[in-house]
Amino acid sequence: MKLPLRDMVGLSLGLEFVISIVVMAGLGRWIDSRYHTEPTFLLVGFAIGAAAGFRSMYRFATRDDPKPEEPKKNDPKPPTTP
């Protein structure tokens, strides 16, 4: 089964968002268990992971298309309006 490109982009963004939260929250939990500061760094790690995930989504949403679609050579040129 082959997924369309738009589905793969959504899947990639979703995974990146979840993984950034899980990794940073896990790091925060590890710091909490080491220094007995529960749940301070868990919450900080969660917030940083969520911010990183949202930043990634924002950067994707506002990026410029690196290669705009060019018209095919056999297609007639669209009429230009003065």
Question: What pLDDT digit, counting tens, does each position of 2-15 carry?
Answer: 777 777 888 899 99
**Domains held by the chain: number:** 1
pLDDT(17) > 80:
yes
What pLDDT does 9 receive? 83
What pLDDT does 57 receive? 92
Asked if residue 33 belongs to a domain, the reply is yes
Residue 26, number of CB atoms within 10 A of its CB: 14
Q: Is the pTM above the cut of 0.75?
A: no
Asked if residue 69 belongs to a domain, the reply is no
Asked if residue 47 belongs to a domain, the reply is yes
Torsion, Cα 10 12 17 23, to 10 degrees, reads 160
Please state, in angstroms and rounded to a whole number, the distance separating the CA atoms of residues 12 and 3.
12
Asked if residue 49 belongs to a domain, the reply is yes
Asked if residue 19 belongs to a domain, the reply is yes
Asked if residue 18 belongs to a domain, the reply is yes
Question: 25 lies in which domain range?
Answer: 9-61
pLDDT tens digits, one per residue of 24-77 = 999 999 999 999 999 999 999 999 999 999 999 999 888 876 665 665 666 566
Asked if residue 72 belongs to a domain, the reply is no
